Amino acid sequence: MTRNKVEICGVDTSKLPVLTNAEMRELFLALQTRGEWEAREKLVNGNLRLVLSVIQRFNNRGEYVDDLFQVGCIGLMKAIDNFDLGQNVRFSTYAVPMIIGEIRRYLRDNNPIRVSRSLRDIAYKALQIRDQLTNLHSREPTIMEISEALNVPKEDIVFALDAIQDPVSLFEPIYHDGGDPIYVMDQISDERNKDIQWIEEIALREAMRKLGDREKMILSMRFFEGKTQMEVADEIGISQAQVSRLEKSAIQQMQKHVKT
């Protein structure tokens, strides 16, 4: 692999062709009206860069790039075979969701946390019903409504939907407010913090005394009462982003006093 040349599945990505909109239209006409399969091959090769741009979104999954590229190509070919020239839509706009969907199905089916086929079937049917009911009523349906539509116990639907969810890192950022990001971990209460022994050490108690009243209150609620940042924010009337910044600032101040 060099700076300008990357090979995936034996394909030199630096030499992939790029088709203009006019060329794309001519090839689709040749494929759909005259059945010229050479045009299909040119459409596939001319849109492999689209697959490359999509699989970059999944680089952090730990999957082999070659595998994702091949799965993405399957999605691309499905998009080519089903694209309707009569619709006033760019091919890339139509193809990207299909490529992403194909990759997501592959990742779900190859998840190290094994999910039975029956559970996946229930989950996918529930998602389809959810979309149908949302379009019908212009609102998100309840689990009970989905349960009644599928004639499946609501407990089974909840379990199935949970089973197909991808694991989330505790350090995944979920919100930015122009400053430090708020992570998933920041919204989880930790019962173990009620028994933290180090907070009772003399040095830390001295450091706590040097904090302002609001910082003391936030640390007490977070680490002694085990509350989430959102719960603290609601109780003292500020935003969660402010709680996050004040908490981190207070901890940094305490660390400075402890070190000195």
* Confidence check: pLDDT of 70 > 60: yes
Q: What is the C-alpha to C-alpha distance for residues 156 and 240, in angstroms, rounded to an integer?
A: 34
Q: Indicate whether 1 belongs to any domain.
A: no
* Averaged pLDDT for residues 223-245: 85
Lowest mean pLDDT among 11-15, 65-69, 72-76, 208-212: 11-15
pLDDT bracket for residue 77 (50, 70, 90): very high
Q: Indicate whether 151 belongs to any domain.
A: yes
CATH number for the domain spanning 244: value is 1.10.10.10
Check residue 127 and give its pLDDT.
86
Q: Indicate whether 37 belongs to any domain.
A: yes
Indicate if 125 and 94 belong to the same structural domain: no
* Averaged pLDDT for residues 222-239: 84
Residue in this structure with the two tokens 């919204």, named with its chain if needed: 187
Q: Indicate whether 44 belongs to any domain.
A: yes
Q: Indicate whether 27 belongs to any domain.
A: yes
CATH number for the domain spanning 20: value is 1.20.120.1810
Q: Quick one: 166 exposed, middle or buried, by C-beta within 10 A (0-12, 13-18, 19+)?
A: exposed
Write down the mean pLDDT value for the chain. Answer: 76
Q: Indicate whether 33 belongs to any domain.
A: yes
| Residues counted in the chain | 260
Check residue 196 and give its pLDDT.
43
**Domain extent for 249:** 173-259
Q: Indicate whether 244 belongs to any domain.
A: yes
pTM of the model: 0.43
Q: What is the pLDDT of residues 158-216, one digit of tens each?
A: 878 776 665 555 555 655 555 566 665 565 555 544 444 444 455 566 677 778 888 88
Contact 254, 243 (CB under 8 A): no
